[in-house]
Amino acid sequence: MAKPLFQRFLLAGSLAATLLCSAALAQQRDVWIGTNAHPASRGIYHSTINTENGKLSGSRLAAQIDAPGFLALHPSAKVLYAVGALRGTDVVAAYSLTSTGGEATLTLMNSLPIGDGGAAHLAVDPSGKMLLTAQYGGGSVAAFSLNADGSLGARTALTKHEGGAKVVAGRQNRPHAHWVGFSPDNRFAFVPDLGLDKVIIYKVDLA
């Protein structure tokens, strides 16, 4: 079977900065795999990694969603977020992480339309109250509130970038936000924009 052209890996365990503690065996950690649009891809896949020898198990489909290019974990709740498309609409989706018979599973909690095309990246703030998405095609940043259980509350803002650096013809004629992340003290959010050739800094307001 053909493999997806691009895959995004997200570990759940003690191996990376945004990890969720796993109840699996000490030498096994969950791995969640996001995929880009490809005929062989059907959504988010699950695997496990042996922390002693680094070997990955075979992957299996965990949730059906089109082109879930990037994933993120809630800092404290057992929730995984993905940007992708459901029923033809570009969304951010929240999934609860559970274990059935020792097998890690994803259950869709809810999803919300982004409202400005598909997102290139997403991030959850350290307090677990806000989620941001960056839209490459739309050149924008969207903010979503998060409920106490980690589900999506509402889209609270959509900010469009303006202009273009035009240093590279055809690529910088207009905004292309392509990443988003929070400062360690949770006071600011950073959004590199390829089209503007700048990093846009936003002040975080959780009120």
- Structure-token pair, residue 102: 């020792």
Distance CA 96, CA 145 (A): 17
Q: What is the mean pLDDT of residues 12-32?
A: 55
Domain spans in the chain, listed from the N-terminal domain onward = 1-113, 115-207
Cα(147)–Cα(127) distance, rounded to whole angstroms? 11
Q: Which amino acid is at 82?
A: A
pTM for the whole thing?
Answer: 0.87
Residues 6 or more apart whose Cβ sits within 8 Å of residue 146: 74, 124, 128, 129, 130, 131, 152, 153
Token couple for 171: 């690529």
Phi/psi of residue 5, each to 5°?
-65, -40
Q: What pLDDT band is residue 8 in, cutting at 50, 70 and 90?
A: low
Predicted confidence band at 22 (pLDDT cuts at 50, 70, 90)? very low
Q: How far apart, in whole angstroms, are the C-alpha atoms of residue 11 and residue 158?
A: 29
| Per-residue pLDDT reduced to its tens digit, 47-75 | 999 999 999 999 999 999 999 999 999 99
At residue 26, the pLDDT reads 52
- The share of the chain scoring above pLDDT 90, in percent, equals 79
Query: Of 50-54, 112-116, 171-175, 189-193, which range is least confident?
Result: 50-54
85-104 CB burial, b ≥16 within 10 A, e <16? bbeeebbbbbbbbeeeeeeb
The rounded radius of gyration (Å) of the Cα atoms in the chain is 17
For residues 128 and 17, the model is more confident at 128
